Chain A
Amino acid sequence: MTVTVPILRQGSALIASIQEDLCDSDILNLQSRILEDVIRYRANAVIVDVSAIGILDSFGTKTLIEIAHSVKLRGAKMIIVGIQPDVAISMVLLGLTLKDIPTALDLDHGLALIGET
């Protein structure tokens, strides 16, 4: 079973809304697709919406950080939106941080943050 996360375009931004729990290979797949799309559409921002995700473990977090760094190397910025309260607590207790990656409450706030409202 492979889950393909839809990547939408809004203006010069890309929005990847993760709809369900992803396995590691799905996340790796998302990683390469986001990078391809950033280049293809000359996007200047990427929003990854994780509001439907029940957990973000060390692999998921590590991959999100990698995606953000690659996106940054392409001259665009990435925002992670929709981390739920219990997911946030688990991440912190596990010792996971998102370092300097901006976060926002939800898609609306994320779009506001990149000036796409």
Chain B
Amino acid sequence: MQVPAPLDAMVQAIRRDADVISARQMGRALAEDLGFSRPDQALVATAISELARNIVVYADHGEIELTTLQQGDRQGIRIIARDHGPGIADLERALCDGFSTGNSLGLGLPGTRRIMDEFDIRSPPGEGVTIIAVKWQLR
């Protein structure tokens, strides 16, 4: 799936460990600017951290893109994590708690899906992985 990059998007290239920190700090700052509660700021940052790390571990490089969404009188943050790595063969299993092909707890993807309001993952063969996750502000 091709996702058009909106003009106001912030993009952080993910190549190394340190980029994971930059991306999640960018996310926390955005959540704070939008007036997200402190727990929700932490959730946004945590989701970005999980998604960015997956890129480093499984795909070598990719990017995290953050966009502000507006729906009625509430705002949201959309996180798009994109890579061109080997992709995920079995999406369903990847979303199960405790499943991991790497060296992890296997809670990254299922956990991220739990803490976000919307979550979509695509991995067409040969095109890497695109994950779109949205967190809405609580009213």
Q: Do chains A and B touch in the complex (CB under 8 A)?
A: yes
* Chain A contact residues, CB within 8 Å of chain B: 1, 21-25, 54-55, 57-59, 61-62, 85-87, 89-90, 93-96
State the 8 A-B residue pairs at the shortest beta-carbon distance, nearest first: A94-B111, A86-B42, A23-B17, A57-B49, A86-B39, A90-B42, A89-B39, A86-B38
Complex contact A94–B24 (CB within 8 A): no
Q: Is B78 an interface residue (CB 8 A)?
A: no
Q: Which of A23, A55, A85, A95 contacts B18 (CB 8 A)?
A: A23
| Contact status of A58 and B104, CB under 8 A, knowing A1-B18, A24-B20, A86-B41 | yes
Q: With a CB–CB cut-off of 8 A, which chain A residues contact B20?
A: 23-24
Interface residue ranges of B1-29 to A (CB < 8 Å):
17-18, 20-21, 24-25, 28
What are 19 A-B residue pairs whose CB atoms fall within 8 Å in the complex?
A: A1-B18, A21-B24, A21-B25, A24-B20, A55-B24, A55-B28, A55-B49, A57-B46, A57-B108, A58-B50, A58-B108, A58-B111, A59-B53, A59-B108, A86-B38, A87-B42, A93-B43, A94-B46, A95-B114
Interface residue ranges of B43-100 to A (CB < 8 Å):
43, 45-46, 49-50, 53, 56, 97
Q: With a CB–CB cut-off of 8 A, which chain A residues contact B112?
A: 94
Q: With a CB–CB cut-off of 8 A, which chain A residues contact B17?
A: 23-25
Q: How far, in angstroms, from A62 to B50 measured CA to CA in the complex?
A: 13
* B138–chain A nearest beta-carbon distance, Å: 13
Nearest to B100 among chain A residues (CB) is: A58
Q: Is B115 an interface residue (CB 8 A)?
A: yes
Q: Is B110 an interface residue (CB 8 A)?
A: yes
